[in-house]
Amino acid sequence: MSVPSLAVVLLVAAVASAYPGSSHAVCNSQSSLTLIYQNNLNASDDSNHVSAIILDPMPARNAQTACGAINESLLTQATIQNYTTDFTDTLAYLDYTYGTGPAYLVDNAVVTLQDQSLSYAASNSAQRNLPVLCTQSDRETQPPNSTASASNLVTVAAAGNTYIGYHNQKSFRFAGIRYANTPERFEYSKVYSGTGETINATAYGSQCLQGGGGSEDCLFLNIQTPYIPKAGSSNNLRPVYFWIHGGGFTGGTGADPGTDGGNLASREDIVVVTINYRLSTLGFLAIPDSPIKGNYGIGDQINALKWTVANIAKFGGDPKRITIAGSSAGAGSVRTLLGSPPAIGLFQGAQADSNLGGGVDLGLDGNYGTTYSSYLTINESYTRGGFPVLNATNCTSGSTTQQIACLRTANATTLISGNDIPRYVVQDGTIVTTPKLDVTARNGTSAYVPIMFGVAANDGASFSTLSPTPVANLSEGLQTGLSINASAADAIIASGLFPFYSSGNLTLDAFNVTQRVATDNTFRCIDQATVYAGAVTHTFPATYYYQFERSIDGYNPNNLSPELIQGPRSPNYPNGNPHAPYFKLHGSTGDWIFGNFYGRPLRDETDLWSLQLTSGYFAEFVRSGQPNMREEALRVRGAAYAKTLEAVRTQGSWGAVQGEAGPVRFLDWPARSGGFVDVEQCRWLNYSLSYYVDGGS
């Protein structure tokens, strides 16, 4: 057991002060806590709104004390009147969804919602117990500005421990929760077994060791929730969004601010869980004919899921409504978990964003993308990454047993350094038992849950190369951009399927062709084939597919100019024109899924409307297994949801994939539905829509 940090000691002392009579009393022992905030996702507007905490029904004489127990006070009539629209809309939603209200106790009054308006009466007129409206005093919105203090702590008992979290303007937050015991190197983790502890969950735990630092002691998860149920209650539990970060299985963290769950939790009334898992050699080394079978990082994800299933109800989440989701390597993880025997049954839906999967033999990234959908054998993985690790650590001598013993004590940073390191999901026989996810038959090897797959329109622009010097012709540009030889480049040109459009900049125009080939080859074709097969063979109860037509920034190894990844700039669009052509890069979609636009100015009002609509689609899939939001649920939520309601009414529904016509949902403002993209191009690349139905070859 490590010695507690000064911060932990001070926070435990703060809890004792906040909850007299116990050094670790739980905040929900007498009542549930619901944090309400009318979140329109416009970060620049956050200061114009206020949040509050609702407690369970009680006599008026107890209300002030109950608010004081969480370091808050009864909300005043003046505050409600200053933010009448916010309170009218949020209380209407709660009454519509959970039957809360319509009357609430506030300071010296009862406020009642009726016909979308509020009325007031003296609190001594209350003839029955009523829910209580308390202040929520922290005006910070998101990390890093949002931090714990003695005044905003919340404590929850779960898994035999007491967890100290905090609340801010948008959600209750618990960070750095250890979901597994500190792992032994090259051993599968085990669900955390510690009990009887008071645990500081106000700061993120260490990221897993990667190029930018981290630790081998890194198996932590984070929870953002709008609701903490009364201890012992399972009423009104919210659906759970379980997010797995990307980063090529060599980087990333569950603490990424771009995928922080605070906005999604508050706007969509769901619980968000983000996790760390072991990476590169420490997470994926596999050695033939040895106990080192690989997939340790995937095993970590499964244990994080197990911890979540066992404990998320204590934090307001429904363990029977968990959707696993991720982008890039996180999407590859989702694909893996869909077919992993120990994971099946732990989740009820799956979203995979920008899943790599294809890689026809054009020399593109050494067919790197195929390893996310066609799993290497242990021998194949070892050949690619195991030998380089042995050489780098000087662990080449002796028997396999001696080599493993050497690796167990080798410098951790050396283990994860270099280009040729293990980062591949492998067929280990337990976590992964098939060469690829079976998307063509309900034979028990794949989870029978709704799935949603999709790509960014130009995912491949992040995986092809813009020549640093001017190119002489298209063939030269293709060779540079795709790392292919002249004959492969000429074959692409001769196909006529990837046409060249001249803007006067030959180098950039050639790159535009290469990014389309790379997008099809590595992302689009394999993912369209996946959802098509899953739909027509009924492997999954429903499959949905999308393409992002709006984004900003993203993974930009070519250092493309802001105008190329945000839209051309002009006096009317000083931050870029989202309606003009620009590249929608890999890694640019998380902002839209999570409703996060921090640190960036809106290009125009349609960015905000698109953000609201898109995050709503994804959250509705978490809520109901399909993405189409209910009109009445949006209507009662008022002005902050008006543009989303307009879109639902006017832009058509998002249908499940039925066959060769799709549909595909193109995420933009406005959103629209259409057919699968680049079908002929995919067929030419040997990834037709029927790729899996025809045997995957």
466 and 593 together in one domain? yes
Name residue, tokens 């006017």: 650
Greater model confidence, 360 or 388: 388
59 and 170 together in one domain? no
Q: Residues 6 or more apart from 221 whose CB is under 8 A from it? A: 177, 179, 254, 273, 274, 275, 276, 304, 307, 308
573 and 660 together in one domain? yes
Q: What is the pLDDT of residues 631-669, one digit of tens each?
A: 999 999 999 999 999 999 999 999 999 999 999 999 999
Residue 410 lies in a domain: no
**Confidence (pLDDT) at 443:** 74
233 and 289 together in one domain? yes
Assess whether pLDDT exceeds 80 at residue 115: yes
Q: What is the pLDDT of residues 448-458, one digit of tens each?
A: 999 999 999 99
Measured distance CA(234)–CA(218) in Å, rounded: 30
165 and 122 together in one domain? no
Residue 396 in contact with residue 404, Cβ under 8 Å? no
Alpha helices (H) along 437-561: 474-482, 486-495, 506-519, 525-536
Assess whether pLDDT exceeds 80 at residue 134: yes
Domain CATH for 120: 3.10.100
Greater model confidence, 238 or 357: 238
Residue 329 in contact with residue 252, Cβ under 8 Å? yes
Assess whether pLDDT exceeds 80 at residue 392: yes
Q: What is the percent of the chain where pLDDT is above 70?
A: 95
494 and 639 together in one domain? yes
Instruction: Give the residue from 81, 102, 135 where a domain finishes.
Output: 135
Cis peptide before 144 (omega within 30 of 0): yes
Phi, psi (deg, nearest 5) at residue 281: -60, -40
Number of domains in the chain: 3
Residue 366 lies in a domain: no
Nearest to 94 by CA among 171, 172, 36: 36
Instruction: Give the residue from 102, 135, 168 where a domain finishes.
Output: 135
**Confidence (pLDDT) at 531:** 98
Residue 414 lies in a domain: no
| Lowest pLDDT segment from 4-13, 68-77, 234-243 | 4-13
Residue 3 lies in a domain: no
Give the pairing of strands 153-158 and 161-167: antiparallel
Residue 367: pLDDT band (50, 70, 90) is: low
Residue 23: pLDDT band (50, 70, 90) is: very low
254 and 131 together in one domain? no
Assess whether pLDDT exceeds 90 at residue 495: yes
Instruction: Give the residue from 118, 135, 152 where a domain finishes.
Output: 135
What six digits make up the tokens of 664? 């595909």
**What's the average model confidence in pLDDT over 5-29?**
54
Measured distance CA(677)–CA(37) in Å, rounded: 39
Give the pairing of strands 52-58 and 33-36: antiparallel
Measured distance CA(171)–CA(246) in Å, rounded: 24
What six digits make up the tokens of 282? 């420490």
DSSP 4: P
Q: What is the pLDDT of residues 85-110, one digit of tens each?
A: 999 999 999 999 999 989 999 999 99
174 and 109 together in one domain? no
Assess whether pLDDT exceeds 60 at residue 297: yes
166 and 127 together in one domain? no
Residue 421 lies in a domain: no
Q: What is the pLDDT of residues 557-600, one digit of tens each?
A: 999 999 999 999 999 999 999 999 999 999 999 999 999 987 78
The torsion angle over the Cα atoms of residues 574, 578, 583 and 585, rounded to 10 degrees, is 100
| Lowest pLDDT segment from 308-322, 361-375, 538-552 | 361-375
337 and 208 together in one domain? yes
**Confidence (pLDDT) at 442:** 74
Nearest to 429 by CA among 334, 292, 549, 309: 292
Assess whether pLDDT exceeds 50 at residue 8: no
Q: How far is CA 86 from the centre of its chain?
A: 27
Greater model confidence, 44 or 208: 208
Domain CATH for 193: 3.40.50.1820
pTM of the predicted model as reported, rounded to 2 decimal places: 0.95
77 and 174 together in one domain? no
Domain containing 588 equals 454-598+606-685
177 and 126 together in one domain? no
